[in-house]
């Protein structure tokens, strides 16, 4: 009788452990969803597509060395892992931003966006037009300043173009 109980216990443990193995199976892809759908998804500032969006983790969330973050426990100064900031934006909705690690990327991401007229996103800036033929550097800088003043280009675009023009001196 003792042998039979031992065999049953071994069988039970094997079944239980094989079930646990399936719980820790690595995930290779997830889907990023939003309500409402059709929102733009940015991973660490890079636009990767529109929801609903199937994502291959190794492509969009590659592992890399990172410093400690507030949610880290245990010893260590650096960790080799998936770590990225995800931002989901849709015109008319409040943008959603959250930091994800390998631990939080084991399941699909589903976000309900808060929408309303107060969350209308600004239209993309119109590309700067080419300077008229023969325009002086001073004229080009003045035109660039006017575009910034009218809100047609961002501060970053202004400084980038300003530097490009000044580099021609």
Distance of CA 34 to the CA centre of its chain: 14
> Measured between alpha carbons, how far is 112 from 90 in angstroms, rounded to an integer?
11
106 and 138 in one domain? no
Q: Could you tell me if residue 42 is inside a domain?
A: yes
Q: Could you tell me if residue 1 is inside a domain?
A: no
169 and 144 in one domain? yes
Cis omega (within 30 of 0) for bond into 110: no
- How many domains is the chain built from? 2
Q: Identify the bridge partners of residue 67 per DSSP, sorted by sequence position.
A: 78
Give the other-Cβ count within 10 Å of 132's Cβ.
9
Q: Could you tell me if residue 11 is inside a domain?
A: no
> Measured between alpha carbons, how far is 15 from 17 in angstroms, rounded to an integer?
6
pLDDT of residue 163: 83
113 and 65 in one domain? yes
In this predicted structure, the answer to whether residue 94 has a pLDDT above a threshold of 50 is: yes
Higher pLDDT, 47 or 84: 47
Q: Could you tell me if residue 95 is inside a domain?
A: yes
In this predicted structure, the answer to whether residue 87 has a pLDDT above a threshold of 80 is: yes
Q: Which of 119, 135, 158 is the C-terminal boundary of a domain?
A: 119
DSSP H helices in 45-154: 57-60, 137-149
Q: Could you tell me if residue 13 is inside a domain?
A: no
115 and 127 in one domain? no
Q: Could you tell me if residue 4 is inside a domain?
A: no
Q: Determine the angle formed by the axes of helices 155-166 and 137-149, rounding to 10 degrees.
A: 180
Q: Which of 99, 119, 139 is the C-terminal boundary of a domain?
A: 119
Can you list the positions of beta strands (E) in the chain? Answer: 29-35, 40-43, 46-50, 53-56, 64-67, 78-81, 83-89, 96-101, 109-112
74 and 43 in one domain? yes
Range in 14-28, 63-77, 152-166 with the lowest mean pLDDT: 14-28
What is the domain extent for residue 71? 27-119
Tens of pLDDT, residue by residue over 19-40, are: 444 455 667 888 999 999 999 9
pLDDT of residue 105: 79
- The confidence band for 46, taking pLDDT boundaries of 50, 70 and 90, is confident
């Amino acid at each position: 009788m003792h042998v039979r109980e031992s065999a049953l216990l071994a069988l039970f443990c094997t079944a239980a452990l094989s079930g646990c193995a399936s719980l820790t199976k690595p995930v290779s892809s997830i889907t990023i969803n939003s309500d409402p759908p059709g929102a733009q998804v940015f991973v660490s500032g890079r636009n990767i597509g529109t929801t609903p969006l199937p994502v291959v983790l190794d492509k969009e969330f590659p592992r890399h060395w990172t410093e400690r973050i507030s949610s880290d426990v245990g010893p260590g100064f650096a960790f080799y892992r998936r770590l990225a900031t995800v931002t989901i934006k849709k015109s008319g909705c409040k943008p959603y931003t959250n930091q994800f690690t390998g631990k939080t990327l084991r399941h699909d991401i589903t976000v309900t966006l808060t929408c309303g007229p107060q969350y209308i996103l600004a239209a993309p800036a119109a590309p700067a037009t080419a300077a008229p033929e023969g325009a002086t550097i001073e004229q080009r800088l003045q035109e660039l300043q006017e575009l910034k003043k009218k809100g047609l280009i961002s501060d970053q675009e202004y400084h980038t173009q300003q530097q490009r023009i000044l580099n021609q001196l």
